[in-house]
Amino acid sequence: MLNIVVPLKIVSSANLNEHWTQKIKRKNLHKNAIAKEFLYLNSNIPTVPCRITLSRIAPRLLDEDNLLYALKTCRDVVCDMVLPGLRMGRADASSQIRVEYNQEKSKNNFYALRIIIESE
């Protein structure tokens, strides 16, 4: 089992009115932060088949559809790390990976992403 906490502020851009460059910057920030955490693990990443739980940690909770939208980039990056060799963003479609979503309420304006990967 692998349990990682990445300090990231994850917001749902589904209802944001922002310029497309801001969205790209946020996605790249998420990709780089998650990839950096996985670099430290090297060969300690569980193999497929596995279950991945992505938990958004924030002071306020999102509704279900906004949570899924907010974690889409994170899902793509984590699945690509677990199942490398496919085109970017394709690994999450694999039947060998099951992804679940969760939220945790935090205090003191703390934002993060918890990634739990368990072999099945």
Where residue 114 sits, what CATH number does that domain have? 3.30.1330
The pTM assigned to this predicted structure is 0.91
Would the pLDDT of 27 be above 80?
Answer: yes
Buried-state track 36-67, b at ≥16 Cβ within 10 A, e below 16 = ebbeeeeeeebeeebebebbbbbeeebeeebb
Q: Give the per-residue pLDDT at 120.
A: 83
Structural domain total, the chain: 1
For residues 83, 86, 91 and 95, what is the CA-based torsion angle, rounded to 10 degrees?
Answer: -80
Residue 19 CB coordination number (10 Å)? 8
Helix (H) / strand (E) element for 68: namely helix 64-70
Q: Give the per-residue pLDDT at 84.
A: 86
CA distance 76 to 99: 10
Q: Which residues pair with 55 in a beta bridge?
A: 102, 114
CA distance 13 to 25: 12
pLDDT band at 98 (very low <50, low <70, confident <90, very high): very high
What is the pLDDT of the chain when averaged over all its residues? 91
**Overall average pLDDT of the 12-20 stretch:** 84
pLDDT one-digit tens code per residue, 37-75? 888 876 678 888 999 999 999 999 999 999 999 999 999
Q: Give the per-residue pLDDT at 43.
A: 66
**Residue ranges making up the domain that contains 11:** 2-119
